[in-house]
Amino acid sequence: MKRLGAVAALLLGLLVVASIVACGGGSDSSEDVGDAGGNGASGSTLRMVGNDPLTLDPALVTDAVSASYIVEIYSGLVTIGQDLKIAPDIAKSWDVSPDGRTYTFHLREDVVFQQTYRQVTAEDFKYSMERTANPDTVSTVAEAYLGDIVGVKEMINGTASEISGIEAVDDFTLRITIDDAKPYFIAKMACPTAFVVDKTQIEDDRRNWTKKPHGTGPYQVKQWKLGESLTLQANQRYYAGVPAVKTVEFVLSGGSRLTMYEDDEVDVAGVSVNDIERVLDSSDPLHSEYLSADMMSVSYLGFNTQKAPFDDPKVRQAFGMAVDREKIVEVVLKDMVPVAHSVLPPGLPGYNAGATVATFDPEKAKQLLAESSYGGPSGLPKVTLSQVGAGATAGDDTQAMVEMWKKNLGVEVEIQQTDQATFWQDLDKKSYQMFAAGWVMDYPDPEDILDILFNSKSHQNNTGYNNPEVDRLLIQARTEQDSSKRMALYQQAEELILADAPWIPLYYGRDHVVVKPYVKDFMLPPVVMPYLKYVTIDE
Amino acid sequence: MQGLLPYLVRRLLWVPVILLAVSFIAFAITRFGPGDPVRVAMGQYSDPVVLERVRHEEGLDKPLLQQYGIYVKNLAHGKLGESFTYRNRDVSEVIFPKIWVSARLGLVAMLIVFAVGVPLGVFAALRQGTWADPLSISTLLVFQSIPVLISVPLMQIVLVLKLHWLPAAGWGGILDTHIVMPALAISLPGIAGVARLTRATMLSVLREDYVRTARAKGLGEFTVITRHVVRNSLLPLVTVVGISLATLVEGAFFAEMLLGVPGIGQLAFQAVNGRDYNIILALILILTTTFIIASIAIDIAYTIIDPRVRYERREIG
């Protein structure tokens, strides 16, 4: 019995192993993720490392990763060009009514959906935007990007079954009416929520259409294996010219990117703070392949202006002046990011190179703290800086700041870390005194940061900042038609905000990559926008 | 094996009870804990009005018991729900391919652990008293002490960048070079444990009377070792094998992340971070089920390997 049992167990084991190997071998032959190295680019294929898109449905996208793929696969009325300005896309031109509230878009007649080549008409745009606003779609971003259009709010609430402000005048003329003369409306139309989707495909296969969507962009999805790889193929009927790079492969499963790059498994790889010194060293072979570019994003320390001790602007200003950000960037961050001296990052219309944020001045800082309603460091309640983290270590820059507050102000700041989900929930509840956060521009207009974050009535005002003068400027800027006057209003608002210091702006974003020498015209997009179509590969 | 069937039935009857209890506790923790999947999905865009609306549309504002009832009803129909992170994707289509990848990787790692660990343990036990015993065990302990975060980059420098024997990252199935580094990274720490267990059990078996009897009967040393000693040392290993098989569905987070293996380890971590309730619950249910099955299988294996083990009810008096 015992012997039979042992032999039987062994045979069963072998059978199990054999069947796993057989199944594994067969189904994986097409599953190859990652090259075995050393081949270089094969013809016109660009191999990149990417993160998993959470969705390829333009109506649902909220994260930059998913959006970066969506802008290559789909397109809309307008887009963001290489000069970071709004440019015509499917709409070859548009007229704005004298009262600034009605936009009439004239569509190209050579735009077709991928795979089926069905022609795109104004009706398709109306369908797409109504789909985004439809409560059945469960989009979290319909209000934000389409909310200015008349009738959208009613559709979201379920009291209307169509958007009254969108009209397909004829096949190639689309008329959109918005609730006020807002010049930044056109910038919002460059975001995925306004992109056109294929009604026929969606109604045919509601569950699975996003796996191989019929977009209208420069690339189409050839294959998407969740968590493994995403392969894009040049759209042969792309109306603005078929892209030079025929295939783009994204490795989604992760892995040490720089090692993969050095092993010739990918053509582009990000460079982290651990590797930047090696790459910047001119004697290193990677140095000639290094590329960096400014991003339209800003990191900051935010203060809860409704909570002690940061309800007193002098305390906020004191904390800001006690931190030597230049030194932190130079020593801790190895100059990888530019020090922020404003709220609006460079490249954004309205960016003010002369914006005066309080600079490092420990004497003045001490003085301000003494002048504040708390009388000095001993009069302060316990101060906590909240950030996202795993509890093992605060970032080197945060620790440096804590040291500086101790040394220059005599204040002991405690660091509290929570995971991302808890952090956002507590931030929304305004439980924090001081917190570390960042903001990434969705579209190139100052409204997307100043109005959204600093207007006292805004739902996303996470500092509780309330300045009636700033509110007045922001509201006026919403409908100011003259572009330079409008930017001046935003810059005035920014000056007031910097003086009141609900923020310590820390750094602007900057991306660092290495790119293989045979990949030409590779750009790092400062904001989410299509860029793969500009790349070429030297064979 | 007469008492085995009633024993089996008794054990299996507990399974739905355990699953319900575990799933309810997990369900309650997800709903009452901090963080919210819709808020996470919204990213930097934080409008509370939109948050409430979408939470309502997803049914997350219903009372806990009602939500749980809906979940169990769907479960009874075999539906694990949709992912909150990967919009409009079924949980099953997100997790099963990854579990399959991690299971294959884990299986290869297990084979290495036992194929290397058991013979090494036997070797060390037989060489007890000589330098070979402590040397072999110490070497394995060194490997056990190196964390995956260190061993993987070291392997990458040597095997990938210097020798070009292996690719840096990715996955190509069980018969592909991509599996070598992650399998090694996962298995190396485990070999020491198995070797030491084998060695300890063997040493105690070697002292048993029946071994002395076998030798006294005139059996060759090789026969004594293989037929009597090793077989009797295997019992504790059965438990280890069973538990290892059950935990194949856990995946290995660091190895997968550093080597680009699309396994369940990374996803499980992301799901918890992102509060993807349906994925978290599905993984907990799957892991609980595999543990229960493994534990039953181990107990049955014991009765096959060691006839002294019985599970009938004892009679009193």
Q: What is the DSSP string of A181-243?
A: --TTHHHHTTSGGG----HHHHHH-TTTGGGS----SSEEEEEEETTTEEEEEE-TT-TT---
Please state the rounded mean pLDDT for residues B304-313.
Answer: 72
Nearest to B282 by CA among B71, B111, B62, B113: B71
- Chain A residues whose CB is inside 8 A of the B171 CB are 28, 31, 33-34, 228, 253
Q: Kindly state the DSSP code that residue B228 receives in the 8-state scheme.
A: I
Can you read off the two tokens belonging to residue B6? Answer: 């009633």
Contact B168 A255 (CB under 8 A): yes
Q: What confidence score (pLDDT) does residue B132 get?
A: 85
Q: Which long-range contacts (CB under 8 A, 24 or more apart) does A414-418 make?
A: A414/A382, A414/A383, A414/A384, A414/A385, A415/A384, A415/A385, A415/A387, A416/A384, A416/A385, A416/A386, A416/A387, A417/A386, A417/A387, A417/A388, A417/A389, A417/A390, A417/A391, A418/A386, A418/A388, A418/A389, A418/B34
Give the lowest-confidence range in A354-363, A524-533, B235-244.
B235-244
Q: What confidence score (pLDDT) does residue A30 get?
A: 36
Is residue A490 over pLDDT 80?
Answer: yes
Contact A60 B87 (CB under 8 A): yes
Q: What confidence score (pLDDT) does residue B314 get?
A: 59
Distance of CA B56 to the CA centre of its chain: 37
Q: What confidence score (pLDDT) does residue B88 get?
A: 87
A67 Cα to chain B: minimum distance (Å): 12
Is residue A38 over pLDDT 50?
Answer: no
In chain B, what are the domains? 1-85+276-317 (no CATH), 96-273 (1.10.3720.10)
- Chain B residues whose CB is inside 8 A of the A138 CB are 54, 57-58
- Burial group, residue B37, by CB count within 10 angstroms (0-12, 13-18, 19+): buried
The rounded mean pLDDT for chain A is: 90
pLDDT digits (tens, 9 = 90+) for A446-487: 999 999 999 999 999 999 999 999 999 999 999 999 999 999
Residue in chain A closest to B101 (alpha carbons) equals A24
pLDDT digits (tens, 9 = 90+) for A85-103: 999 999 999 999 999 999 9
Which range has highest mean pLDDT (A516-520, B10-14, B54-58)? A516-520
Please state the rounded mean pLDDT for residues B224-242.
Answer: 81
- Chain B residues whose CB is inside 8 A of the A439 CB are 44
| Global model pTM greater than 0.90 | no
Place of tokens 């199990």: A16
Please state the rounded mean pLDDT for residues A413-435.
Answer: 93
Is residue A18 over pLDDT 90?
Answer: no
Give the lowest-confidence range in A229-238, A308-317, A366-375, B201-210.
B201-210
Across the beta sheet with A102-107, what order do the strands follow? Answer: A91-96, A102-107, A173-177, A166-170
Residue in chain B closest to A50 (alpha carbons) equals B260
The answer for residues whose C-beta is within 8 angstroms of residue A286's C-beta and 6 or more apart is A262, A278, A279, A514
User: A510 has which bridge partners?
Assistant: A294
Contact A253 B170 (CB under 8 A): yes
pLDDT tier for residue A33 given thresholds of 50, 70 and 90: very low
How many other CB atoms sit within 10 Å of the CB of residue A345? 25
Q: From CA B66, how far away is CA B49, in angstroms rounded? A: 23
Q: What confidence score (pLDDT) does residue B211 get?
A: 82
B257 Cα to chain A: minimum distance (Å): 6
Please state the rounded mean pLDDT for residues A167-189.
Answer: 96
Residue in chain B closest to A258 (alpha carbons) equals B168
**In contact, B164 and B155? CB cutoff 8 Å:** no
Answer with the residue of higher pLDDT: B220 or A123.
Answer: A123
Q: From CA A164, how far away is CA A175, in angstroms rounded? A: 11
Is residue A25 over pLDDT 70?
Answer: no
The rounded mean pLDDT for chain B is: 88
Q: From CA A190, how far away is CA A86, in angstroms rounded? A: 7
Contact B87 A32 (CB under 8 A): no
Best of A259, A388, A442 to substitute, by most chain B Cβ atoms within 10 angstroms, is A259
Answer with the residue of higher pLDDT: A279 or B304.
Answer: A279
Give the lowest-confidence range in A59-73, A425-439, B86-100, B139-153.
B139-153
Count of A-B CB contacts under 8 Å: 210
Contact A36 B177 (CB under 8 A): yes
How many other CB atoms sit within 10 Å of the CB of residue B317? 2
B134 Cα to chain A: minimum distance (Å): 31
Q: What percent of chain A has pLDDT over 90?
A: 84
A15 Cα to chain B: minimum distance (Å): 14
**CA-only gyration radius of chain A, Å:** 26
- Chain B residues whose CB is inside 8 A of the A265 CB are 167-170
Nearest to B167 among A144, A265, A438 (CB): A265
Residue in chain B closest to A14 (alpha carbons) equals B111
Is residue A10 over pLDDT 70?
Answer: no
Contact B87 A55 (CB under 8 A): yes
Q: What confidence score (pLDDT) does residue B7 get?
A: 85
Q: For residue B68, what is the enclosing H or E element?
A: helix B64-76
Residue in chain B closest to A255 (alpha carbons) equals B260
Name the amino acid, one letter, at A106. H
Nearest to A424 among B46, B58, B85 (CB): B46
Is residue A407 over pLDDT 90?
Answer: yes
Name the amino acid, one letter, at B302. Y
Contact B170 A251 (CB under 8 A): yes
Best of B52, B88, B272 to substitute, by most chain A Cβ atoms within 10 angstroms, is B88
Is residue A19 over pLDDT 50?
Answer: no
Contact B45 A144 (CB under 8 A): yes
Q: What confidence score (pLDDT) does residue A14 get?
A: 52
Nearest to A421 among B35, B53, B258 (CB): B35
Is residue B110 over pLDDT 70?
Answer: yes
Nearest to A28 among B94, B172, B259 (CB): B172
- Chain B residues whose CB is inside 8 A of the A54 CB are 41, 85-87
Contact B267 A62 (CB under 8 A): no
Best of B4, B30, B47, B303 to substitute, by most chain A Cβ atoms within 10 angstroms, is B47
Please state the rounded mean pLDDT for residues A490-496.
Answer: 97
ipTM attached to this prediction = 0.85
Q: What confidence score (pLDDT) does residue A4 get?
A: 44
Q: What confidence score (pLDDT) does residue A32 get?
A: 41
Contact B304 A262 (CB under 8 A): no
First CA to last CA distance, chain B: 23
Best of A31, A69, A296, A528 to substitute, by most chain B Cβ atoms within 10 angstroms, is A31
Contact A424 B170 (CB under 8 A): no
Is residue B209 over pLDDT 50?
Answer: yes
A173 Cα to chain B: minimum distance (Å): 32
The answer for residues whose C-beta is within 8 angstroms of residue A334's C-beta and 6 or more apart is A273, A276, A277
Is residue B37 over pLDDT 50?
Answer: yes
The answer for residues whose C-beta is within 8 angstroms of residue B25's C-beta and 6 or more apart is none
A257 Cα to chain B: minimum distance (Å): 9
pLDDT tier for residue A345 given thresholds of 50, 70 and 90: very high
Residue in chain A closest to B255 (alpha carbons) equals A255
B80 Cα to chain A: minimum distance (Å): 16
